[in-house]
Each structure stands twice: as C-alpha cells, then as structure tokens.
Amino acid sequence: MRFTDRVAIVSGAASGIGLLSAQRLAAEGAKVVLTDVNAGAVEAAAEAIREQGGQAVAMEVDVRCYDQVEAAVEAAVERYGSADILLNCAGGASSRVWGRSEPFHEMPIEVIDWGLDVNLKGAVYFCRAVLGQMVRQESGVVINMGSVDGVTGSWCLDYGAAKSAMIGLTKSVALYGASHGIRSCCVSPGPVLTRPEMANMKTRLGRAADPDEIVNLILYLCSDDAAFITGANYVIDGGRSIGGMA
C-alpha cells in the first residue's frame, strides 16, 4: 500500500495506460481523480474502482480546455485535501485518432493542432493547474507520458515533436519544483499491448510490452522508493530505440 492517503490525478484515465495506472494506484491506497474527454467511459472506470473498494471520482475533462483542467484539480483538492501525484497520460497519434494517412505536408491543420494540443498543451495545462497546490504542500510528483517516438522521431510529425517536448517539460518541472519537494519524471514506452496492432511493431526483444510492465515503472517513480529521482526520461521500449529496426 505505497500510496495510502495520497491523491492522484490521472488524465486519459478512461482507457489504456491511464486507466490501468488509476486502477493500480487505487489498489495501493490512493484516492484517484480520473479525468477523460469520454464522460461515460471515465465514470464507468471510477465506478469499477469503487466497487473494488477503492476511492475514485470521475470528471469529464478535455485537456485542450484550461478551465476544465483547472476545475479538475480544484475538485481533487476540495474533495480529498491535496494533489500528490499527477499522471499526464492523455494523448495519441493524431493520424491514427483521426484516421488520416496523408503525408504530413498535406495533413489538415486541424489534425496537427489536435496532436499538439492533446499530446503537449494538455500536459502543460495540467502542470500549470497543479503546481500551485504542490508548492503550497511542499511535495508532489508529476509523471509525463512520452514515447519512444519522442526519442527516435516519428512519421506522425506532430506526435514525435510533442512527445519529444514532454522530455523538456519534465526537466523544466523538475527544475521548477525541486526546492519545494516536487519531483518530475517522463516515461517513454515503445509498443504496448493496449491495442492489438502494437504487436506488429518491432523491438529488439521481439515483442511489445504488457501494459503492466509500463505501469510498474510509473508506480515506482511515483513512490517513495524513487525519492531521489527527478528530471529523468525513462525509455521502456524493448530496445526499439537502439536503432537498426527495419
């Protein structure tokens, strides 16, 4: 029970790594505020956690809208009294989400804007909203979800750019928060079996990651076992970023 009485805010919590992280945090004692643009799915996720004996509330949040982001942080503090952990998990490759296959120079600008806003600006917004509370309480952990594509580059240019910027955001938050007991780390996965097609992406270890392998790292970085770690990017990609993957 590493997270007893700690309050965790998770974006993108209706599915994938965000959902599993929220479930695992709650199972280890955290009070979890699940946020997602999909209101029905995020409420169902929070209800399932409560049915298992955990403490969880859901909020509909579009990370592109600062007012909604700020309201979620304020609700977490009002309900539970603090904001100890922020997981910025909302995101996705714009070309996949929008079902587009054009080359980047022909991609509609609204698709590119979506990619930059959701994958980067949303995380910046959540950091802006939560850091004041963390400064006041003199503690906190921010985990940003990067990607191996932020290390190697990506054919989805806005996605690669945004995920690379998540590393810079992480280092900047670490600098900003260090004197207040606030840590920040980035987790950059390779292919993860949150979607079946991820199994087709090559890695040096010959497989995609099980989602729990990613969440194990996230929870370690959130815990007191990682109390001397901040500003670092953790690539967990089965060796995909080593290079030479045809």
* pLDDT tens string 207-242: 999 999 999 999 999 999 999 999 999 999 999 999
**Sheet with 140-145, side-by-side order of all strands:** 55-60, 31-36, 7-11, 85-88, 140-145, 182-189, 233-236
Catalytic residue numbers read 159
Q: What is the pLDDT of residue 16?
A: 96
pLDDT confidence tier of residue 68, bands split at 50, 70 and 90: very high
Task: Copy the structure tokens of residue 150.
Answer: 């932020």
* pLDDT tens string 23-63: 999 999 999 999 999 999 999 999 999 999 999 999 999 99
- Under DSSP, the state recorded for 209 is B
User: Rounded to two decimals, what is the model's pTM?
Assistant: 0.96
Which domains can be identified in the chain, with CATH numbers?
Answer: 7-238 (3.40.50.720)
* pLDDT tens string 69-98: 999 999 999 999 999 999 999 999 999 999
As a whole number of angstroms, the distance between CA 28 and CA 43 comes to 20
Q: To the nearest 10°, report the CA torsion of 218, 153, 196, 113.
A: 90
Long-range contacts at 46-50 (CB < 8 A, ≥ 24 apart): 48/23, 49/22, 49/23
What stretch of H or E contains 8?
strand 7-11
Q: What is the pLDDT of residue 176?
A: 98
Phi-psi bin for 140: left (phi > 0), alpha (psi -120 to 50), beta?
A: left
Q: What is the pLDDT of residue 132?
A: 98
Partners of 85 in the β-ladder: 8, 141
DSSP secondary structure of 99-152: T--S-GGGS-HHHHHHHHIIIIIHHHHHHHHHHHHHHHHT-EEEEEE--THHHH
Give the type of residue at 25.
L
Q: What is the pLDDT of residue 213?
A: 98
What ranges in 6-38 are assigned the alpha helix state H?
16-27
Q: What is the pLDDT of residue 246?
A: 58
**Nearest Cα residue to 194 out of 96, 101, 55:** 96
Q: What is the pLDDT of residue 195?
A: 83
Q: What is the mean pLDDT of residues 164-181?
A: 98
Please say whether the beta carbons of 123 and 89 come within 8 A. Answer: no
Q: What is the pLDDT of residue 149?
A: 96
**What distances in angstroms separate CA 20 from CA 10, 39, 179, one per listed residue?**
10, 17, 31
DSSP reduced 3-state for 225: helix
Say which residue, 246 or 152, is predicted with more confidence.
152
